[in-house]
Structures are given as structure tokens and as C-alpha cells.
Amino acid sequence: MALIGILGGMGPLATVDFMAKVVQLTDASCDQQHLPMLVANLPHIPDRSRAILGDGEDCLGPLLEGIDLLNRNGVGLIAIPCNSAHHWYAQIAARSAAPVLHIAEACVAAVPASARRVAVLGTGGTLKSGFYQAALSARDIEPLVPGADLQQSIATCIREVKAGALEQAAGHLSTVLGALAAQDVRAAVMACTEIPVAARHLSNPPLTLIDSSLELARATVTFAVARGWNRPQ
Amino acid sequence: MALIGILGGMGPLATVDFMAKVVQLTDASCDQQHLPMLVANLPHIPDRSRAILGDGEDCLGPLLEGIDLLNRNGVGLIAIPCNSAHHWYAQIAARSAAPVLHIAEACVAAVPASARRVAVLGTGGTLKSGFYQAALSARDIEPLVPGADLQQSIATCIREVKAGALEQAAGHLSTVLGALAAQDVRAAVMACTEIPVAARHLSNPPLTLIDSSLELARATVTFAVARGWNRPQ
């Protein structure tokens, strides 16, 4: 069916940001040329990062309930604008009748070929899971995991976006990027979908940022437009 | 069920804007305190305004299909961030098991009591349908329908938002507001959910604007929070 499924709410503002990117990337001059989506915005799915770190409730069950809801409604593709949730990508993809895009694959594919060393900005859970480091290494790019102090500022930035405190979040992100630039890091993947929401409030980041949410949106639009979902029958 | 249903895609950017307002109006410090939503973003529903003006395909059938989809998934409330679609409010509300908020009721209730004369900025269909004029008159407020030239600029603004041309849309809106202010109009209802998306790009509008999308979002959050949907069990 010509319907994009989005499993969102992780967090809600990141889902809105992702949807805005899908809409803006679609070449359309009227409503009817846009892409149909069914968005399950389910913010009560327990914290993914804490679950990965062994300090939280199970979230695979609730994630699969969301996947089931989307499949029951006949979506033809699923995108999940939450990086940490991709820790369970294999189980999610196995459960879903519709294909599920992988956010880290889309994101890492967009890292410039010239990059030799790229920082990974994500939740503690995403970093522990290691799928970004693996995807970068597979492209012969050295993944740089921020030190504990910087990671604390990244976690604060993410938490602030989830609480709607965008200016404060941008301030923490700015501190992190300044410190990375001082370590001669030239590029970073925003491997958490809250971070680009904060980054919008920065005027001139001191290093190249690759946006996992934007790259997932591009992959989503490419998939759907190739199948004509923007122009039914 | 603790799930807000949103019938959207009319247009898609207006739906994203509405969702952002719901998220930002929710008092939450983490994902799990936000409100769950199921969003049917269905941009292929035929043009509502043209249907009302007798110049387009039927859209009541497709609107009811969207309402059915949301009800099948057990939503406990439906919000429709498209004003023109409310021409069929009676049929939609009669079909839906879940209560359906009325965007014009929410919007007109937010018009300051001091306002005696308020312009209605909407599609030609919404104006022909007349439900804003009726709601304003019921509050003893004189509704002002813009003249044909201004209405053409409003229609252009709406079309530009649907096509993602936000700066141009803001320019057309600015022209309209300037002309209304010159006619000594002090307040206007943005009775089309595309218009606030354009209005965000104006720094200092020359009259008071009441935002139908924001008021629908407020009503949605009030309904859901009163029922504890932000804090399940």
C-alpha cells in the first residue's frame, strides 16, 4: 500500500522534525502531490538508551506493538526516527511485513568520502550498542566516541530537547562541538534525532554535521517516490 | 483509549505545524510525559475548498475513510487541522465513535472579547461554507470577509505553503494584513491552517492574529491531559 509508516514519539519533537523533512524533501506543488504517512507517535515506549545500558524497562515489546500497529494498517515501508531503537533493528525487521529502513545505514552513507575520523553524537545506549561505530568502520572511517564529560553534555542536550528547552539544548550542543573542533575533529554524525532539533538553533557549527534524521527522510522519500506513492494510480 | 487521532495531510506542513504545537503545549520533561498520537497524514484527499465551491471531486468519502482508519485503531479523540474540511463537520462527527473537536469553535472562542470586527482569512471554500461567519456572529462579532483582490492573495499564500514556498507565502500574507490594517481592521482569524505556517515568517504583523491551528492544539492538549493520557495508568 502507498503509505509510509513512521514509528515515532521517541521523542515527539524529533518525530515532528523528521516529518517536516519528509514533506520539505518531496517535490510537490499541491497537497495531492505529497506523500501519505501513518505516524504512530508513541512517547510512552520506555527509554531506549536506559534499556540498552541495562538500567531500564524492556522496550522491545512496546516497539514491536508499534510495528504491528503500522503493519495492521497496511503501510508499505517503516521509518523509525529514533537511533537508539535501532539497537533492536534485527528483531524489528524480522517482525515487520513492511521493509524497515535503517537510520544508521542512511546516515553513514552520507558521510563525505574524504572524512577519515568522525565523532558519533548519540545517547549512551546508541554508543554502547556500537552500530554507528561498526557502520563507520565498515567504510574505513575512524569513529570517535566523545569522552565522559562531553557525553554528559550530549545527554543533557538530548534531554533538553525532549523537554522542549531548545535554546538550552543548543547551548550544550555548541559546547560539545567547540570542544570537538578544538580536538581537530572535522565531522560528526548526529546519531540521535533530538540533536538536529537543537542544531537548528546554531548559526555556524565549527564542524561538518551529518544529520541522521535528514538522511532517513531522504531514504524514505526516495523509496516512496520511486514507487509513485506521491501520485496514486 | 489514550491516543489522540489526527486526520491530517490537508496540507502536510500544516499537520506538522499542528503536531509541533501539541508537543510544545504539553508540559513534559521526558518522552514518557508527552501525549500519544496516531496521525493519518492523507494528502490525497481531494481539495476541500474546490469541492465546497462545486468545482472539485467529492472529498467527504475520503475524509470518512480517514475517520474510519483512526477509529479502527481506537483513538479517543479526533482533531482535524484543516478548516475547510469542517464544512462536513456534522457528517464526520456523526460517523466517528471518538469525539471530534471543531476547529472553528476552538478558534472563535479565543477571539478577545473586545474585538468587534474580525477578518476571516481562509480558503474560498471555508468562506462560502460560512461557519466562521456564523461562529463570530454568535459571539456578536462582525465577521469581515476580504474583498476579491485580497482573497486572491490569501489563496496564493495558502497554495505557496502547500508547495513549500514559505517566504513567498509570507510576502503575500504581509500584503493582505497591511491592506486590512489600512481599512482599520484590528484582528483576524487565521481560518486556514496553512496561514500560520506563513505567519511564522512575519516579524511584526500589523493586527492581532488568532491562530486556528494553535487553538485546536490547545483544545486537544486540554482534552487529553484532563484524561491523563500523558501519564498512562
Domain boundaries, chain A: 4-102+215-226, 105-212
Grid cell listed for A193: 534525532
User: Which residue of chain B comes nearest to A40, CA vs CA?
Assistant: B38
Residue A113: pLDDT band (50, 70, 90) is: confident
Q: What is the distance in angstroms between the Cα of A109 and the nearest Cα belonging to chain B?
A: 27
* Complex ipTM value: 0.96
pLDDT at A220: 98
Residue A11: pLDDT band (50, 70, 90) is: very high
Residue A136 has pLDDT above 80, yes or no: yes
Residue B149 has pLDDT above 70, yes or no: yes
Interface A–B counts its CB contacts (< 8 A) at 126
Give A31's contacts in chain B (Cβ within 8 Å): 9-12, 43-45, 47, 162
Grid cell listed for A25: 524533501
Q: What is the pLDDT of residues B91-139, one digit of tens each?
A: 999 999 999 999 999 999 999 989 999 999 999 999 999 999 999 999 9
Q: What is the pLDDT of residues B192-224, one digit of tens each?
A: 999 999 999 999 999 999 999 999 999 999 999
Mark yes or no for CB contact A162/B42 under 8 Å: no
Strand positions, DSSP E, chain B:
4-8, 37-41, 77-79, 117-121, 142-144, 187-190, 208-211
Residue A1 has pLDDT above 60, yes or no: no
Interface mutation target, options B38, B41, B57, B71, chain A, most CBs of A under 10 Å: B41
pLDDT at A233: 57
CATH placement of domain A4-102+215-226: 3.40.50.1860
- Strand, helix or coil for residue B228: coil
Q: What is the pLDDT of residues B162-193, one digit of tens each?
A: 999 999 999 999 999 999 999 999 999 999 99
Pick the CATH number of B105-212 from 3.40.50.300, 3.20.20.70, 3.40.50.1860, 3.40.1020.10: 3.40.50.1860
CA A83 to chain centre: 5
pLDDT at B204: 92
pLDDT at B233: 57
Residue type (1 letter), B128: K
Mark yes or no for CB contact A36/B31 under 8 Å: no
Q: What is the pLDDT of residues B49-68, one digit of tens each?
A: 999 999 989 999 999 999 99
pLDDT at A153: 98
CA torsion A36→A42→A47→A52, rounded to 10°?
Answer: -50
Asked if the domains at A4-102+215-226 and A105-212 fall in one CATH topology, the answer is yes
Q: Give the whole-angstrom CA distance, residue B4 versus residue B78.
A: 6
pLDDT at B231: 85
Residue A231: pLDDT band (50, 70, 90) is: confident
